Structure 1
Amino acid sequence: MYDYHIILDFEMNPVDKKNNEVYKLLRNEIIEMGAVKVSSEGKIVDKFSCMIKPEYNRKVVNYITRLTGIKTIDLTDGKSFSEAVDDLKRWIGDGKIRVYSWSDSDLIQLKAECMYKEIEFPQIMNDWQDFQITYPEIMGIKGEKALMSLEKAAEWYGVSVDKKKVHRALYDAQITTELVIPVLTGEYEKQRLLIKKYSVKNKNEEIRLSSSLSELCSNIFNENITDQGYSTRLEKYA
């Protein structure tokens, strides 16, 4: 059993190509960290957010600003990467934990950046799960719908998403948390049954959903996943 489940997300900015030697080994730097701490009972107990000043690009590039809304001035008083990692480690605390992120890009980036900047990777974060892969498997989703963006997955399963807030670290971590909690509590079983009920077979006999579950089920998922009162847990994840 895990003491806590840590759901996190990072936003990144590319290294300036003028730093040629750096760019060969480290393409991006983390500029924002966001995380949610969930208890073994599936309850949100704390949140973490941190802005980080990059070392190898003096400004946030335009397409990152358009994507995230983060501007260069927002990072002026940001912490160093080393300070941010230490703060995150202290915030996580002791005990047995599992980390979740939507895709493995955050884990890859954290390890690469720690290695390049000669910072020890937090050993407490070794148990890391790519929920973009795991969640569709748990829910029985196959075919082209199996690998979705976080925004699509949230909308598909009935989680309300504010499009103006996506691609910010803490907000994306919170949306991912709305998908993780039903798995921890066992409530995902109801969701999976609804998926099976409203799925159809195409010509190749591949199971696909006929439309958004939030539309089909009148937002029943949104009501379920925001109710954290369930005590049944899936032992594999608890």
Structure 2
Amino acid sequence: MKRVDDVMDTSNVYSYGIDLSKIKLDFSKEPKKHKAPAKRYVCIDLEMTEFTASQRGFVPGANGEVIQFGAVMLDENYNMLSEFSSYVKPVYSSVTPIINQLTGIENKNLEKADDFLTVFDKFCYWRGEGDITTFCWSKADFNQLWAELEAKGKHRYDLFGILHDFVDLQNIFGKLVSSKTSVGLESAMRLLQMDYKGQVHTALSDSYNTARILHKLFCTESLELDFEYINPSKEIPVNKKKEDAEYNCSFASFLSPKLLAQFGYSNTIEETESDDYSFENAAEDLQALEESPLYGMVDNEEIAGLCSKYKIEVQSWLKLATEVMDTQEMQVA
């Protein structure tokens, strides 16, 4: 449905000679927290190529280029309004066999696709203006958008403004379960006793399932959730180590350690974790389920595996899972 009252027209908005460091400082002056319900919510997800070592300098701060952009819009009650999906034609890279294996995207899908700036412009038009909060699963997608805008769209000051209201939903979930490592999207859904819908690692499906988690958490009144906006002056990767950590958080949601190794990356965060919470520890703690409303409803072995993988104390998971168990699924508004 076309929204005449609050759609942003970016067709003739251009500004040159932009000081991007000043933009980052201006962002840091924005309100850091948001408590009141927004008019709309948007959940986004990106799929990307993988740069070779020689290509990384073309988009500093990024490990590849966006090749698929997906987003879902929700109303003030966290129910679905509309969706956005587009392939994106990369400038410097292409789809390798391993990216094809991961996403199902082929180079031929991108031959007639719009470039990044055109797709992002279309996303901004679809998104509209007004009180809108945008959620992504980990800061990696936010960092990717900023890096590509900085490399390809310094003349489009209007597009940078969209990034002032981004929130890391993965971080919110991690705090709720007190996880010591970043929890992947599909794993978070299993911990919430939700089944993934759609094709894993496609941008629209991932954004849709992110929206389902958003709905589940924010419609559980007992959680009384608040959040902080991502601050680009602090969050943009400033060195190789941090870049790799962000990249691993995103890809490790779906990749096995063996497949990650083929990319040349290791799970940096988990490797540096010193206090182990073993499968045996989690399985023993799950005995508490006998006194829980969830008793007999969950796969104890699966939950023990996820809790040990992400260093989540079973009691923290049990508290959240019990609170959200009666919250209804997201609906189409």
**Are residue 177 (structure 1) and residue 177 (structure 2) matched?**
no
CA-CA distance at 1:3 after TM superposition: 1.2
Q: Work out the CA distance in 1 between the residues paired with 2:120 and 2:194.
A: 30
Aligned partner (choices 80, 91, 94) of residue 115 of structure 2: 80
Partner deviation per Cα, 1:35-79 (whole Å, 9 max, x = no partner): 01011111110000010010002x301111111111111111211
SS at match of 1:175: helix
Which runs of no fewer than 5 residues in structure 1 stay unpaired?
A: 200-205, 230-238
**What is the CA–CA distance in structure 2 between the aligned matches of 1:228 and 1:189, rounded to whole Å?**
20
Question: How far apart are the structure 2 equivalents of 1:188 and 1:77?
Answer: 48
* TM-score, normalised by the number of residues in structure 1: 0.76
1: CA distance between counterparts of 2:331 and 2:208?
14
Mapped pair 1:209 → 2:314: yes
TM-superposed deviation, 1:82: 1.1
Summarize the Cα distance change of 1:100–1:25 in structure 2 as closer, same or farther, 3 Å threshold.
closer
1:123 equivalent to 2:157? Answer no
Change (3 A) 1:186 1:212: closer
Aligned amino acid, residue 180 of structure 1: L
Cα distance in 1 for partners of 2:121, 2:56 equals 28
- Indicate the RMSD between aligned Cα atoms, in angstroms: 3.2
The 8 Å contact of residues 8 and 35 in structure 1, kept in 2 or not, is answered as: yes
- Output one character per residue of 1:87-111: Cα deviation in whole Å (capped at 9) or x when no partner: 0000000111111111000000100
Corresponding position of 1:203: none
User: Counterparts of 1:160-171 in structure 2 under 5 Å?
Assistant: 160-162=195-197, 165-171=199-205
Give me the whole-angstrom Cα distance separating, in 1, the residues matched to 2:79 and 2:209.
Answer: 14
Tell me how far 1:182 sits from its aligned partner: 2.4
SS of corresponding position for 1:99: strand
SS at match of 2:134: strand
The CA distance in 2 between the partners of 1:91 and 1:188, in whole Å, is 33
Q: CA deviation at 1:185?
A: 2.4
Partner of 1:234: none
* CA separation of 1:143 and 1:114: change in aligned 2, threshold 3 A: closer
CA–CA distance in structure 1, aligned partners of residues 105 and 142 of structure 2 = 21
| Structure 1 residue 173: Cα displacement | 0.5
The structure-2 alpha-carbon separation of the partners of 1:207 and 1:30, relative to structure 1 and needing over 3 Å to count, comes to closer
Deviation of 1:207 (Å): 6.9
1:212 is displaced (CA, Å) by: 8.4
Letter in 2 for 1:36: V
Distance 2:316 2:136 in 1: 26
* 1:210–1:30 Cα change, 3 Å: same
Q: Which of 190, 193, 198 matches 1:158?
A: 193
Whole-angstrom CA distance in 2 between matches of 1:70 and 1:224: 35
Aligned letter for 1:159? Answer: M
Cα distance in structure 2, aligned partners of 1:68 and 1:212: 30
Q: How many percent identity over aligned positions?
A: 25
Tell me which of 154, 165, 172 is aligned to 1:134.
Answer: 172
Mapped contact 1:51–1:78 kept (Cα < 8 A): yes
Aligned to 2:266: none
CA distance in 1, matches of 2:189, 2:109: 28
**Which residue of the partner structure matches residue 329 of structure 2?**
226
Q: 1:20 to 1:49 in 2, by over 3 A?
A: closer
Q: Please give the alpha-carbon distance, in whole angstroms, between the structure 2 residues aligned to 1:52 and 1:129.
A: 23
- Judged with a 3 Å threshold, the aligned counterparts in structure 2 of structure 1 residues 19 and 131 are, in CA distance, closer, same or farther, namely closer
Work out the CA distance in 2 between the residues paired with 1:98 and 1:63. Answer: 33
Shift of 1:28: 1.1
Larger radius of gyration: 2
Q: Which residue of structure 2 aligns with residue 54 of structure 1?
A: 90
> Counterpart of 1:86 in 2: which secondary structure?
helix
Residue 102 (1) aligns with residue 137 (2): yes
Deviates more, 1:121-130 or 1:66-75: 121-130
Aligned residue-pair number: 209
